[in-house]
Structure formats: structure tokens, C-alpha cells
Amino acid sequence: MSERIVVKIGSSSLTSEEGGLNRERIAFFAAELAAQHARGDEMMLVTSGAVAAGFMKIGYAAKPKAVHEKQASAAVGQALLMQAYQEELSQYGIVAAQILLTRADFSNRRRIQNALMTLEELLKRRIIPIINENDTVATDELVLKFGDNDNLSALVAAMTKASKLVIITDMDGLYTEDPRINPNATKISLVEQISEDILKVAGGSGSAVGTGGMRSKIEAARIAMRGGVRTFIGKIQTRDDLANAVSGSGKGTYFDTKLHSLPMKKQWLGFHSIPQGVITVDNGAVEALLVRGKSLLPAGVTAISGDFHPGDVVEVVDTDGATLGRGVVNYAAWQLQAASGLGSEEVARRIEVNRIEVIHRDEWITLKS
């Protein structure tokens, strides 16, 4: 039975430490993708490497740090990267398509729907979409940038309802400690829930040309799992490693999930939308939202921040500041400021709002693991 699979390859797997493309590695990954494609699977590739591929061509001695220098490097490197993939995949009779995305594309519901329709058409035509962040126009502002392509790959996997996400790294999975430092570190083969303990064991970036460390990969796995996508993080180094990773016997760690794929509306709300404010709630509201599946009422609100309006997305946190989830708010910030802590009948007498619920349960998604 064919599957829909997203594969993410980082800069360190495609380039040398000094920079520039390693064509042997690209040829290897193209062969692995082609083999899986020949089995009937629908393959999508999320690739890093544009900046690393381009900065030497421009004349920089090392990977640049200034935004405009990175963007110039990406403008050159993206063309080199796509040319390399096109040439290698064409040897197997496969056409590759380039898809460049920004955070703004995901935050707009119409644009994300258009992106999904494009991907679906390409897959139907047995074309491999090659996806990357549009570094030449993206900014370094947190709300507008993915941060790294681990996050992007998880969002793409959830959006397209992929069955599996394969994140390639230079480590053969997640360990209790960094095995490069402690040889007695123990490998974690299966993760069914991403706890704080799991996040703590993740280290930083291991390469001078990459941006994503193990923690960012685990965060990506969390997004994918919330979208019902099983995730593999590990090594793809030798022939058939990708096939083994897909089949369940790969060199890495599996992140399993019993959750089902989220509807597009919930995905957009949870992963793509940009919150316009933050609402703090008391313990009673926490239980109502997380345990009893209820709507958020004004009585449970203890504080607000931001200048939001009815229909905006807001983040909801507990009194310790821990994120509970996101929802579409029915109040303007000034209205909720006046209504917070009050009972529903009192709010109805004092404030004119279309719905008494601050966030209706149908317009809410929990982000707790």
C-alpha cells in the first residue's frame, strides 16, 4: 500500500563544513527518494542548504550572519540546489518541482489552501515537490520565520496529511545524553509522548552550516504528532536506509502517535495562525478547556495582553505562563478586560457581545502534549 511521506534533509547532510554542495550526497539522497517513489509512495522533500550552497559562490569566507548577506546567498544557492536535485532525479525519470514558502503563507488561510492544492496536483502527477523556506524574502522576526526547516517539514506533513515524516540528522536518534560526550548514553528507540524530560535531553546544533539541533527536531515531531503524523528522526547514510526508516527498522528514534489527522481549520489555528494577544486563565478554566472539553467563559479569565479584536487568534496560558492552546476570540481586548472574572449573566448585562463565550470550544485547539 502506497504512503505519503515527507523527507527533511538539513544543510549538514548536503554540504561540506566549509560550504558548497556535496553532489555525491545529493545523488545518494536522490537515489533513496527515487527508490521509494518507484514503490508507489508519494514523496515530498523539505530541504535546507540554499544559504550554505550559495555563500561561497558570492565570495564570503564563511556562512554569513547578516540578514541581507544570508538572503543574497540563498538567492544564488537556491538555484544551485534545485539544479542539483533536478539533474539527479531526472536520471530516474522523475520531475522535481520547487515550492518556496514563508510563515506568512501559512498564516493566511487562503494562501495555505492554495499551497495545498498545488502540492496535491503535483503528487497526483507523480512529481516530487522540493520545498524550502523562501529565505530571500523571509525576515528574522520570530512570527514571520520558521526558524529552521524542521518546523516547516512538520507543518507540511500535517497539512498534506502525510502518513510519515522522516527527519534526517547526523545522529542515529535521540539519546539520554549526547553520545559524542558520554559513551554510556542510552538510545531512545520509541517516544509516544513528548514530555519536558524528553525536551531536556535534546542538545544544540552540531554543525557550523546547519541551524537545527535535536531540540528543534523534537519540536517538529511534536507538531507532526499533533497532526497525526508518525515521525522518524535519525540517520540515512547507506543504501535502503530510507526504506528501512519508512518500514519501521531505521537507524533512529520513532515518535509514534495515536492522534488522528487534524482538520485544516484546526491545523491553521494551532500551527499556522499568528496570535494577536494572550489570555491568562485560572485553574478552573484550565480544567474546563483541557479535561472537560468546554468553552472558555469570562469568569475564568484573570489577565489579558495585546490589542486583539473579535475573530482574532489568541494564545491561552495558565497562571504560570504555560501555553494551553489557541482559539478564536469573541471579544475585543477592552471588552474582555471589563468582563474578566465576571459571571456570564453579569457580562450579558454590562457588555454587548455576539457570544458570551470568550472562546467557543469549536474554535479552540489544545497544544498540550
| Position 211 in a domain | yes
Query: Would the annotation count 293 as a binding residue?
Result: no
Give the dihedral sign, CA 138/142/143/148: positive
**Strand ranges (DSSP E) for the chain?**
4-9, 42-47, 96-101, 128-133, 164-168, 174-175, 187-188, 190-191, 230-235, 251-255, 277-281, 301-306, 313-317, 323-328, 364-366
* Residue predicted with more confidence, 7 or 20: 7
Q: Are residues 257 and 280 part of one domain?
A: no
Assess whether 173 and 258 both reside in one domain: yes
Assess if residue 11 is contained within a domain.
yes
pLDDT beyond 60 at 207 = no
Considering 104-113, 218-227, 253-262, 307-316, the range whose residues carry the highest mean pLDDT is 307-316
| Annotated binding-site residue? 8 | yes
Nearest to 285 by CA among 318, 328, 327: 318
Domain final position from 265, 285, 302: 265
User: Which of 229, 244, 265 is the last residue before a domain boundary?
Assistant: 265
The grid coordinates listed for 56 are 561561497
Q: For residues 281 and 256, state if they share a domain.
A: no
- Does the annotation list 135 as a binding residue? yes
Is residue 345 predicted with pLDDT exceeding 90? yes
User: Is 189 flagged in the annotation as binding?
Assistant: no
Question: For the chain, what is the mean pLDDT?
Answer: 89
118 marked ligand binding residue: no
Q: What is the pLDDT of residue 146?
A: 53
- Per-residue confidence (pLDDT) for residue 125, from 0 to 100: 98
- Asked if residue 338 is part of any domain, the answer here is yes
Q: Is 216 annotated as a binding residue?
A: yes
Instruction: Tell me whether residue 170 is annotated as binding.
Output: yes
Per-residue pLDDT tens digits for 126-153: 999 999 988 666 555 433 455 568 989 9
User: Is 108 flagged in the annotation as binding?
Assistant: no
The residue with greater pLDDT, 196 or 91, is 91
**Residue at 53 is within a domain:** yes
Question: Which tens digits make up the pLDDT trace of 75-92?
Answer: 999 999 999 999 999 999
With a pLDDT cut of 70, the percent of the chain lying above it is 93
Nearest to 246 by CA among 94, 13, 33: 33
Say if residue 329 is in the same domain as residue 191.
no
> Does some domain include residue 128?
yes
| pLDDT tier at 210, thresholds 50, 70, 90 | very low
Q: Tell me, what's the pLDDT at 235?
A: 95
- Say yes or no to pLDDT of 211 above 80: no
- Assess whether 198 and 179 both reside in one domain: yes
In a shared domain, residues 224 and 281: no
Label residue 202 by pLDDT band (50, 70, 90).
Answer: confident
Q: Are residues 279 and 251 in the same domain?
A: no
Quote the longest CA-to-CA distance of the chain: 71
Q: What is the CATH number of the domain that holds 323?
A: 2.30.130.10
Model pTM score = 0.82
Residue 255 domain boundaries = 4-265
When pLDDT is averaged across residues 180-206 and rounded to a whole number, the result is: 80
Q: How many domains does the structure of the chain reveal?
A: 2
Digit-coded pLDDT (tens) for 236-267? 999 999 999 999 999 999 999 887 777 878 88
Residue 25 marked in a binding site: no
pLDDT given for residue 205 in this prediction:
43
Dihedral, CA of residue 13, residue 17, residue 19 and residue 20, to nearest 10: -50
Note whether 228 and 334 are same-domain residues.
no
Q: Is residue 270 part of a domain?
A: no
238 marked as binding residue: no
Distance CA 169, CA 213 (A): 9
Tell whether residue 1 is among the known ligand binding residues.
Answer: no
Of 231, 265, 299, the last residue of a domain is: 265
204: confidence class by pLDDT, cuts 50, 70, 90: very low
**Domain contains 155:** yes
Q: Are residues 239 and 339 in the same domain?
A: no
Question: 242: domain CATH number?
Answer: 3.40.1160.10
* Phi-psi group of 72: left, alpha or beta (phi > 0 → left; psi -120 to 50 → alpha; rest → beta): alpha
Q: Indicate the range of 20-24, 144-148, 222-226 predicted with least confidence.
A: 144-148
Segment 280-299 shows an average pLDDT of: 96
Runs of H (alpha helix) within 228-296? 241-247, 264-267, 283-290
Q: Are residues 138 and 17 in the same domain?
A: yes
**More confident site: 164 or 65:** 164
Q: Is 105 labelled as part of a ligand binding site?
A: no
Q: What angle do CA 327, 119, 30 make, to 5 degrees?
A: 120
**Residue 234 and residue 110 share a domain:** yes
pLDDT one-digit tens code per residue, 293-310: 999 999 999 999 999 999
Is there a binding annotation on residue 54? Answer: no
Do 93 and 34 have their domain in common? yes
CB atoms within 10 A of CB 291: 8
